[in-house]
């Protein structure tokens, strides 16, 4: 059926956005077989590292004293500081409220004990079902690190596949800290050396292929500092050129680069202590140009990089840009970036990923993002109607499907 006017357009877009199940291309959540690695429930939600950073704007206790508290005590402190002593207007605080509200809990009551008691009745397996349903998410891509001992043990001993959770092989320890980690590869039976001899290169390739296969990883991934340059004289650049890209090409897997993180600018804050810096787009351009048979998924952390990243994606079909990452995942910035992407790339991008670290966050991150993506898409369609174009509801559903999952899966399957 054709949409006739702006009102019917808006309701068709809202319906399509609401009804389309998402593929969430980057998260940090796990299925229940990963045990304690799966974070969920109100205490994990409140102690999300985004809220920890905000709490220390107010709380006067030393960092170490915070880390000595139990999770529940940490949550009590954050709740008191950010929700009781101040109104919770920051996006990460609002997110907690959206989750509780969508679960049907009484947010106005401000009753942390009641929220805790709701979660205490649930098993992780039951809650995964509830969250995926409420969030409208079909499947998520995890962040899987074989250098993490707890995670590695599950993959090797007790992993049980759940089709809703797909894997991505994360390579930060290998690529960013080769000097500190090469001996671990050696201990696992790979014939490697710190100097990256040609034998070592073949062995690292063997390691990558083993884990891609074992995890059925959809892509290989790394987070990179703003100073990253592929022309740099570093073990990282060499490993990317000689190991990662050849394996990606051979297995037809994209290489995901998340660029712009300055690690531990404030070490006292631990996971909450990372920051952002503007990176050089040339790192992306030169990789896409030099490796046309490789596929690159890229997101950049700095707002200042977003325009040139869109332009790069216009130039290289082996580049698919995704998400409004971390400090960009705020309504005003998501709106600005999404609008710019529609204008420069049409429907050819992945508007958002959740980056959920806590299962529950799928609910709020997708609720908030869907609303903005829908509003901006509506505005773009309205411009087409003003130009005399006709839109069918089926076409709107098709386009929303392209944005919320189709582009990702097409890219995964595409052969260059």
Pairing of strands 255-259, 261-262: unpaired
Question: Looking at 32-40, 121-129, 194-202, 351-359, which segment touches Zn ion (CB under 5 A)?
Answer: 351-359
Which residues neighbour 371 within 8 Å (Cβ) at sequence distance 6 or greater?
none
Integer angstrom CA distances of residue 403 from 16, 44, 298, 310, 318:
11, 30, 16, 15, 17
Binding track, positions 37-66, relative to ligand RAT; x by CB under 6 A? ------------------------------
Shortest reach from residue 223's CB to ligand RAT, in Å: 4
3-state secondary structure labels for all residues of 221-274: EEEECCCCCCCCCCHHHHHHHHHHHHHHHHHCCCEEEEECEECCCCHHHHHHHC
Which of 324/376 has CB closer to Zn ion? 324
Query: To which H or E segment does residue 165 belong?
Result: strand 165-170
Shortest reach from residue 357's CB to ligand RAT, in Å: 5
Which residues neighbour 40 within 8 Å (Cβ) at sequence distance 6 or greater?
119, 124, 127, 131, 358, 359, 360
In angstroms, the CA 192 to CA 25 distance is 32
φ/ψ (deg, to 5) at 378 = -60, -45
User: Can you tell me which of 214, 270, 357, 371 binds ligand RAT, judged by CB under 6 A?
Assistant: 357
User: Can you tell me which of 223, 361, 402, 407 binds ligand RAT, judged by CB under 6 A?
Assistant: 223
Asked if 355 interacts with ligand RAT (CB under 6 A), we say: yes
Asked if 355 interacts with Zn ion (CB under 5 A), we say: yes
Which of Zn ion, ligand RAT, none lies near 369, with the C-beta cut-off 5 to 8 A by kind?
Answer: none
Question: Looking at 65-73, 92-100, 350-358, 399-407, which segment touches Zn ion (CB under 5 A)?
Answer: 350-358
Which of ligand RAT, Zn ion, none lies near 223, with the C-beta cut-off 5 to 8 A by kind?
Answer: ligand RAT
User: Can you tell me which of 326, 335, 348, 379 binds ligand RAT, judged by CB under 6 A?
Assistant: 326
Give how far the C-alpha of residue 209 lies from the chain's centroid of Cα atoms, to the nearest Å: 23
Q: In the chain, helix, strand, coil percent, each to 5?
A: 60, 10, 30
Which of ligand RAT, Zn ion, none lies near 10, with the C-beta cut-off 5 to 8 A by kind?
Answer: none
Which of 54/399 has CB closer to ligand RAT? 54
Which of 20/305 has CB closer to ligand RAT? 305
> DSSP secondary-structure letter at 35?
G
Which of 351/374 has CB closer to Zn ion? 351
Question: Which residues of the chain form contacts with Zn ion (CB under 5 A)?
Answer: 355
């Amino acid at each position: 059926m054709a949409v006739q006017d702006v009102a019917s357009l808006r309701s068709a877009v809202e319906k399509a956005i609401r009804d389309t199940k998402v593929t969430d291309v980057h998260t940090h959540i796990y299925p229940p077989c990963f045990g304690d690695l799966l974070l969920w429930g109100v205490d994990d939600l409140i102690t999300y590292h985004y809220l920890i950073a905000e709490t220390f704007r107010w709380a006067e206790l030393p960092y170490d004293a915070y880390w000595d508290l139990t999770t529940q005590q940490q949550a009590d402190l954050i709740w008191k500081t950010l929700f009781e002593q101040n109104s919770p207007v920051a996006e990460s605080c609002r997110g907690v409220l959206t989750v509780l509200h969508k679960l049907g809990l009484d947010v106005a009551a401000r009753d942390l004990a009641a929220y805790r008691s709701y979660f205490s009745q649930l098993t992780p397996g039951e809650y995964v079902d509830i969250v995926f349903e409420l969030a409208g998410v079909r499947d998520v891509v995890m962040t899987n690190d074989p250098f993490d001992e707890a995670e590695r043990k599950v993959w090797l001993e007790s992993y049980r596949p759940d089709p809703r959770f797909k894997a991505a092989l994360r390579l930060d320890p290998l690529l960013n800290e080769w000097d500190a980690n090469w001996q671990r590869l050696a201990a696992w039976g790979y014939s490697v050396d710190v100097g990256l001899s040609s034998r070592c290169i073949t062995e690292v390739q063997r390691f990558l292929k083993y884990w891609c296969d074992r995890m059925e990883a959809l892509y290989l991934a790394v987070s990179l500092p703003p100073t990253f340059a592929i022309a740099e004289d570093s073990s990282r650049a060499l490993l990317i050129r000689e190991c990662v890209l050849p394996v990606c090409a051979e297995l037809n897997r994209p290489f995901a680069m998340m660029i712009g993180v300055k690690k531990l600018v404030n070490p006292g804050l631990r996971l909450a202590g990372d920051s952002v810096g503007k990176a050089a787009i040339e790192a992306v351009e030169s990789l896409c140009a030099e490796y046309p048979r490789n596929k690159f998924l890229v997101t950049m952390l700095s707002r200042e990089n977003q325009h040139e990243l869109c332009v790069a994606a216009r130039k290289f079909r082996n580049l698919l840009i995704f998400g409004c990452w971390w400090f960009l995942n705020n309504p005003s910035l998501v709106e600005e970036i999404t609008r710019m992407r529609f204008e420069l790339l049409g429907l050819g991008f992945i508007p958002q990923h959740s980056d959920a670290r806590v299962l529950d966050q799928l609910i709020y991150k997708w609720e908030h993002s869907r609303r903005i993506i829908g509003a901006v898409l509506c505005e773009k369609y309205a411009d087409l109607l003003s130009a005399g174009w006709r839109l069918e509801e089926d076409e709107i559903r098709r386009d929303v499907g392209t944005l919320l999952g189709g582009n990702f899966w097409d890219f995964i399957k595409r052969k260059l």
